[in-house]
Amino acid sequence: MKRSIARGIGPGGALSVTSLAVTSLSVAFLAVAFLAVAGCSGPGADGPSSSGRAAVTFWGWAPGYADAVEAFNRSHLDIEVTYQAVRPGAEGGYQKLLDAVKAGNAPCLAQIGYETLPSFAAQGALLDVGEHRTIAQQAAFPEAAWSAVTVEEQVHGVPVDMGPMALFYNKKVFDALGLEVPTTWAEYRTAARTIHASDPRRFISSPYMTYDYAGLARQAGASWFGVKDDVWQVTMASRANEKVAAYWQSLVDEGLISSAPMYDRSWYEGLGDGDIATVVGAVWQAGVIKSGAKDGAGQWAVAPMPQWDEGQIEVGNAGGGATAVLKGCENPAAAWEFAHWMSTDRDAFGVLVEKAARYPAATDLLDLPQLAAADPYFGGQKIYDVFSAASHQVNPDWTWGPLMTKTATDLDDGLRTAWSGQGTIYGALRDTQDRTVAAMREQELEVTS
């Protein structure tokens, strides 16, 4: 019998959720299959600490999380949280988490992006902790943000942040060349040509991989997945996606895109010395740029995301995630208490804003002083004003697929080739669609393309 998982969650939490029904049969079936592969699950990695406090281990990678743990431990005498930094999810952190769940020694809590949470739920890797929430706690978040951590009415964690996108640009470079900040993608192409013509080492941008590229597609309404009549639709090779891919392919073909991969040392060096003049990215990229490209301090600024048509107002979203409770957690109530505290405590989240540029999902935190502060790195600009406006303009029409770990791996492989000038971006999307559909059919999911 064919099965379907008909739920998609967008990466921006409150801004980006397309809530679709997940059949309880499919989740239950996959959960049983997951545990059958794993064998009988033993106790989790958490239990009573030597001091008698409830022990909770938390795996994540965001700057500021360790500070939140320290602050929580100082103010809560009945719970002891231990933070362990792991590689970011797409760089191996998610696989490490899944392996730990299979082995029965997973942490209680983990940082999981909204785009990946449905896959974890489908594999039976998450715990339902809905019984530990209160009405007041749920009310701290917009309904859509809450939906981002809920699958088939099972609550798997607490929303943390959202990822509205904007244009980070090197103001020093733009000013030196007499360039206006591009408001359309056509103007962005013109700026790209001027920047590269001024110095062959200069480029307007570097390659974007799966989740960052998804934000570019999302702005244009180029969806990747959908569900109709309880059947998955995979639309990565649609005409809308072809349009977005063709635009970026044209920049590659003209030699206007740097070869430096995002987050590589060469990328940070390019941002610092002006050889990479823009990053079209989510709010949290501010923290990445500040920490990794210190030489660019005072040179950068933030502007709204360029539009496809003059006067249009559509924004993409990249990232955003939750603190999820994993299968096997021995202290789910304690895990829930910490997770909710970290997402709603003003001091703790203020540090996340300062260190990681996290944009809070909790509505009561939108007036944090850190979000109103002038940022010296960005020339004294109050950059969160731009993202505050962008947060209301995110295209809501987006659904993530049920096998995003595989989809992302396949697409990243194709994009690396395409950005290097071999193959095409649209070819990578088309090939990934074929691979995704085949994988979904292997999982006995109802799917069309």
Check residue 179 and give left, alpha or beta (phi > 0: left; psi -120 to 50: alpha). beta
First CA to last CA across the chain, in angstroms? Answer: 20
DSSP summary character for residue 165: E
Asked if residues 262 and 412 have their Cβ atoms less than 8 Å apart, the reply is: no
Helix (H) / strand (E) containing 207? none
Share of the chain above pLDDT 70, in %: 88
**pLDDT over 90 (residue 309):** yes
Entry pTM: 0.77
Determine the pLDDT at residue 77. 94
Determine the pLDDT at residue 155. 93
Determine the pLDDT at residue 49. 53
The CA distance from 368 to 382, in Å, is 13
Residues 6+ apart with CB under 8 A from 139: none
Structure tokens at 298: 């005072």
Asked if residues 187 and 306 have their Cβ atoms less than 8 Å apart, the reply is: yes
Q: Span 117-132, mean pLDDT?
A: 90
Q: Coil, strand, or helix at residue 378?
A: helix
Calculated CA dihedral for residues 81, 133, 158, 61, nearest 10 degrees: 10
Q: Span 269-282, mean pLDDT?
A: 98
Q: What are phi and psi of 335, to 5 degrees?
A: -60, -45
Domains and CATH numbers, the chain: 13-162+320-366 (3.40.190.10), 165-317+397-448 (3.40.190.10)
The CA distance from 167 to 316, in Å, is 11
Structure tokens at 114: 């909204």
Query: What value does the mean pLDDT of the chain take?
Result: 87
Cα-to-chain-centroid distance, residue 125? 19
**pLDDT over 50 (residue 4):** no
* Lowest-confidence segment of 210-214, 353-357, 419-423 by average pLDDT: 353-357
Asked if residues 358 and 371 have their Cβ atoms less than 8 Å apart, the reply is: no
**pLDDT over 70 (residue 362):** yes
The candidate with the shortest Cα–Cα distance to 109, out of 69, 153, 152, 52, is 69
What are the pLDDT digits (tens) for 162-188? Answer: 888 999 999 999 999 999 999 999 999
Q: What are phi and psi of 213, to 5 degrees?
A: -65, -35
**pLDDT over 90 (residue 347):** yes
The CA distance from 216 to 395, in Å, is 11
Determine the pLDDT at residue 385. 94
Report for 3-7, 129-133, 387-391: range of highest mean pLDDT? 129-133
The CA distance from 318 to 217, in Å, is 10
What are the pLDDT digits (tens) for 10-69? Answer: 333 323 333 333 333 333 333 333 333 333 333 344 555 556 789 999 999 999 999 999
Determine the pLDDT at residue 447. 94
**pLDDT over 50 (residue 443):** yes
Residues 6+ apart with CB under 8 A from 152: 7, 21, 22, 23, 24, 27
**pLDDT over 60 (residue 203):** yes
Give the strand order in the sheet containing 447-448.
Answer: 225-228, 231-234, 447-448
What are the pLDDT digits (tens) for 393-424? Answer: 888 777 788 888 899 999 999 999 999 999 99
